[in-house]
Amino acid sequence: MKTKFIKNTIKYIGSQLAPHWIYKNFKLQGDSIVAFCGECKVDLSEMVDIEDVINNEPIYSKYMLSFITEQFGVELSEGVFRQRLLICIIKELLEARGIFVKRCGDDLIINDKKLSVSIATKSPTSILIHTGLNIDSKGAPVKASGLTSELGITDIKEFALEVMKRYAEELDDIMLATTKVRGVTE
């Protein structure tokens, strides 16, 4: 899996969760994950999560660390497993810094405040995952915590690179694990 931290600020509006967006914009072909920082404002018209649309809950963050991954040859249920794996890796990295994190499905909660947003979906060619972590929680429409504003994580690039590295390594290790077992029959 290819990884890349995008230095330019990008406003995440939901339309980036599209097939080949990473390839078209950053020339990373195949399974890949990118991270970038910027405002996050997803209007209901761009929402993939139908529950959020029904509940009239658009997403907003003044400043967010976003991860987008596209992976091929994967069904949606496996994509959701991979989304949860990404969330668990972020949780582990935060806990290694002494931060207590509660995970509820694909949500990360710190001190009863939401740190993350995340969604997995399927395109005709791939699965797509967006996971966003508030950097600055001010102005969020829900009680929110932020990597820098509440948790004191100031080197966002270093944190993002470590998340992507561990995610790519974990997926590679899973694939390798499938090659070392002997099949069994009745």
pLDDT tens, position by position, 153-167: 999 999 999 999 999
Predicted local confidence at residue 55, as pLDDT: 86
Tell me how many domains the chain contains.
1
Decide if 183 is inside a domain.
Answer: no
Does residue 68 fall inside a structural domain? yes
- Give the span between the Cα atoms of 107 and 84, in whole angstroms: 9
Q: Is residue 186 part of a domain?
A: no
Does residue 23 belong to any structural domain of this protein? yes
Indicate the range of 20-24, 106-110, 182-186 predicted with least confidence: 182-186
Q: Where are the beta strands (DSSP E) in 73-158?
A: 102-104, 107-110, 113-114, 116-122, 126-136
For the chain, percent of residues with pLDDT exceeding 70? 100
Residue 170, in any domain of the structure: yes
- Does a structural domain hold residue 155? yes
How far, in Å, CA of 138 to CA of 147, rounded? 12
Q: How far is CA 19 from CA 100, 108, 125, 127, in A?
A: 35, 26, 7, 8
Assess whether pLDDT exceeds 90 at residue 151: yes
pLDDT digits (tens, 9 = 90+) for 63-101: 999 999 999 999 999 999 999 999 999 999 999 999 999
Nearest to 61 by CA among 35, 39, 36, 37: 39
Q: Report, as an integer, the average pLDDT of 119-147.
A: 94
Evaluate whether residue 165 is within a structural domain: yes
Residue 134 lies in a domain: yes
**pTM here?**
0.95
- Quickly list H helices, 100-183: 156-177
Q: What is the CATH number of the domain that holds 88?
A: 3.30.930.10
The β-bridge partners of 116 are 133
Q: Are 35 and 160 in contact (CB under 8 A)?
A: yes
Domain enclosing residue 91, as ranges: 2-177
Q: What percent of the chain has pLDDT over 90?
A: 85
Of 56, 61, 55, give the one whose Cα is nearest residue 130: 61
pLDDT at 53: 84
**Distance from C-alpha of 85 to C-alpha of 16, rounded to nearest angstrom:** 21
Q: What is the pLDDT of residues 27-52, one digit of tens each?
A: 999 999 999 999 999 988 888 888 88
Interatomic CA distance for residues 31 and 175, integer angstroms: 13
Q: H helices within 15-139, ranges in order?
A: 21-26, 50-54, 76-96
107 has pLDDT over 90: yes
